């Protein structure tokens, strides 16, 4: 089976296209995760391929169906956190021997193909439709929702996995060289770390609205607290450390005004969700969570990095697209699980949504109020990437589990979990899903 990337027509990128034609007719049922690890120890059973298989099998089991009932796959083929397998390093032989290989030796180690998964999951006997989605689970969810809605497949597994290798983040490769190519030099010659663009937007935001970095503290503490109640997450599994005001406010700068704890930690992990039609979902093991809409932001900044004006305009547009297609308003949201890895754009996302009536420049004041899962205005109940490490999928798992009433310690209690929204990553360039406990 040849698998291609999802075509642009699958995404809901425009405003003014009305309510999603499949609103409430597609449901998420099963959730499956692998464990987490900081870096790969180069054993076969902890490879990105092995953990992908584990996440997929867990999602199937969670939905209470048999593998032969699955007829579609939507996966993200890119698995890197920024780490690439060194060209001069031999691949571990025991890993190669542990799996059925495709013609790409890095398949299942530093990337993932549908072909590799099907060769190594013989129980998936009825897959007749598959698509790739680029980079993020958020993107793959949009594609899978459309695939099921359009009837291209009726029971679809969605997968995103991450590999992280030995060595320090982004310190090898081009960054260690004495000279680089002319095209990448245009941007990278100045040594700005990954969080720099977001830090710039945050600096402009603070200047415009008279806010400061310390005002982020309640959001950081709340996110880590929620993350420590996420048994699938990295911090809960490996280093159950809460954060205090002092911990955050005194931390070293990476690119001022972004500090160490404004950045998420790169990890290895995999997650999968089982999507199916609302009709079929009724007979499965878990309570169905209905998809009301999916929306895509495809804006491109004019310059090297988005300006605050561009960010605010795009987040507002994304908010309008999200609500229009779902046929809801901001007042219908029980909770929000917008992306946070970097912390300093979470406020752009929720201001664009007008979450709890806030507008641009309001979020940091909103963070000073009760934003806990016990209150009526829960912010990032998943804890996001700050709470559980860089997966860009905790917010989706949490949204599904909140609406199924099985978010455990993270279950929101100050408001009934009826409708939630999750997605990201960037203010310019992201994918969003609206989830509901009921189909209408």
Partner 1 sequence: MSILISFDIDGTLEIGDPPGAVTLEMVKTARAKGILTGSCSDRPMSAQRAIWKKYGIEYDFVCYKHLLPDLKKQFDAESYYHVGDRDDLDRKYAMRAGFGFFWPDEAAKNPLLL
Partner 2 sequence: MKQGVIPDQFTAPFWSAANESKLVIQNCSKCDRLQHPPAQECGQCKSGTNLEWKEMSGKGRIYNYGVVHDCPIRLLQDDQPFNVAVVMLDDDPGIQMYSHLPGTPADEVPVGAEVRVVFEETANGQKVPEWKVVT
> Hey, which residues between 28 and 47 contact partner 1 (CB under 8 A)?
38
**Residues whose CB falls within 8 Å of the CB of residue 72, separated by 6 or more in sequence, listed in order:** 127, 128, 129, 130, 144, 147, 148, 152, 153, 154, 155, 156, 157
Instruction: Show the tokens assigned to 76.
Output: 């993200």
Could you tell me which residues are beta bridge partners of residue 296? 431
Q: How far is the CB of 229 from partner 1 (least distance, A)?
A: 17
Q: How far is the CB of 355 from partner 2 (least distance, A)?
A: 26
Instruction: Show the tokens assigned to 75.
Output: 């996966």
By beta-carbon proximity to partner 2, the closer residue of 3 and 305 is 305
Binding partner 1 (rule: CB under 8 A), the pick from 194, 251, 317, 415 is 251
DSSP 108-156: TTTB--HHHHHHH-TT-----EEEE--S-HHHHHHHHHHHHHTTS-SEE
By beta-carbon proximity to partner 1, the closer residue of 66 and 171 is 171
Out of partner 1, partner 2, none, which partner does residue 304 contact, by CB within 5 to 8 A per kind?
partner 2
Question: Cα separation of 147 and 130, whole Å?
Answer: 9
- For partner 2, the binding residues (CB under 8 A) are 169-171, 175-183, 185-193, 196, 199-200, 203-204, 207, 252-258, 300, 302-305, 307
Residue 287 in the binding site for partner 1 (CB under 8 A): no
Residue 246 in the binding site for partner 1 (CB under 8 A): yes
Out of partner 2, partner 1, none, which partner does residue 115 contact, by CB within 5 to 8 A per kind?
none
Q: How far is the CB of 168 from partner 2 (least distance, A)?
A: 8
Binding partner 1 (rule: CB under 8 A), the pick from 244, 368, 376, 438 is 244
Residue 268 in the binding site for partner 1 (CB under 8 A): no
- How does DSSP classify residue 8? G
Binding segment (CB under 8 A) for partner 1, from list 147-155, 239-247, 272-280, 284-292: 239-247
What angle in degrees, to the nearest 10, is found between the helix axes of 196-209 and 308-326? 90
Out of partner 2, partner 1, none, which partner does residue 247 contact, by CB within 5 to 8 A per kind?
partner 1
CA distances from 153 to 74, 77, 159, 277, 298 (A): 10, 19, 15, 9, 26
Question: Cα separation of 206 and 257, whole Å?
Answer: 10
CA distances from 206 to 20, 211, 427 (A): 36, 4, 17
Out of partner 1, partner 2, none, which partner does residue 244 contact, by CB within 5 to 8 A per kind?
partner 1
Instruction: Show the tokens assigned to 196.
Output: 């720099």
Question: Cα separation of 79 and 160, whole Å?
Answer: 8
Out of partner 1, partner 2, none, which partner does residue 191 contact, by CB within 5 to 8 A per kind?
partner 2
Binding segment (CB under 8 A) for partner 1, from list 59-67, 249-257, 329-337, 379-387: 249-257
Chain residues that interact with partner 1, rule: CB under 8 A = 38, 168, 238-239, 241-244, 246-247, 250-253, 260-261
């Amino acid at each position: 089976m040849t698998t291609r990337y999802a075509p642009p027509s699958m995404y809901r990128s425009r405003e003014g296209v009305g309510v999603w034609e499949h609103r409430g007719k597609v449901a998420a049922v099963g959730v499956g995760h692998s464990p987490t690890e900081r870096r790969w120890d180069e054993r076969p059973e902890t490879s990105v391929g092995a953990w992908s298989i584990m996440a997929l099998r867990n999602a199937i089991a969670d939905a209470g169906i048999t593998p032969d009932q699955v007829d579609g796959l939507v996966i993200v083929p890119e698995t890197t956190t920024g780490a690439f397998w060194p060209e001069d390093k031999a691949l571990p032989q025991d890993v190669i021997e542990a799996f059925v290989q495709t013609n790409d030796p890095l398949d299942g180690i530093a990337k993932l193909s549908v072909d590799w998964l099907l060769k190594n999951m013989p129980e998936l006997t009825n897959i007749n439709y598959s698509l790739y989605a680029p980079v993020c689970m958020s993107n793959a969810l949009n594609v899978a929702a459309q695939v099921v809605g359009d009837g291209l497949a009726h029971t679809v597994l969605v997968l995103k996995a991450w590999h992280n290798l030995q060595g320090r983040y982004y310190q090898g490769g081009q960054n260690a060289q004495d000279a680089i190519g002319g095209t990448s030099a245009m941007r990278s010659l100045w040594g700005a770390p990954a969080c720099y663009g977001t830090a710039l937007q945050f600096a402009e935001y603070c200047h415009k609205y008279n806010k400061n970095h310390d005002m982020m503290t309640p959001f950081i503490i709340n996110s880590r607290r929620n993350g420590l109640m996420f048994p699938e997450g990295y911090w809960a599994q490996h280093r159950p450390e809460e954060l205090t005001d002092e911990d955050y406010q005194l931390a070293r700068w990476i690119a001022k005004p972004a500090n160490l704890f404004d950045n998420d930690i790169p990890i290895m992990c995999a997650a999968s969700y089982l999507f199916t039609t609302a009709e079929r979902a009724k007979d499965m093991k878990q309570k169905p969570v209905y998809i009301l809409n999916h929306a895509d932001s495809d804006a491109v900044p004019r310059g090297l990095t988005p300006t605050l004006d561009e960010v605010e305009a795009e987040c507002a547009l994304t908010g309008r697209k999200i609500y229009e297609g779902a046929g809801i308003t901001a007042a219908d949201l029980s909770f929000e699980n917008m992306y946070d890895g970097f912390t300093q754009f979470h406020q752009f996302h929720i201001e664009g949504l007008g979450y709890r009536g806030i507008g641009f420049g309001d979020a940091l004041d909103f963070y000073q109020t009760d934003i806990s899962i016990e209150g009526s205005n829960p912010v990032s109940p998943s804890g996001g990437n700050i709470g559980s490490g860089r997966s860009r999928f905790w917010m989706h798992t949490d949204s599904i589990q909140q609406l199924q009433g099985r978010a455990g310690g993270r279950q929101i209690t100050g408001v009934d979990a009826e409708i939630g929204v999750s997605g990201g990553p960037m203010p310019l360039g992201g994918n969003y899903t609206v989830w509901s406990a009921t189909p209408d």
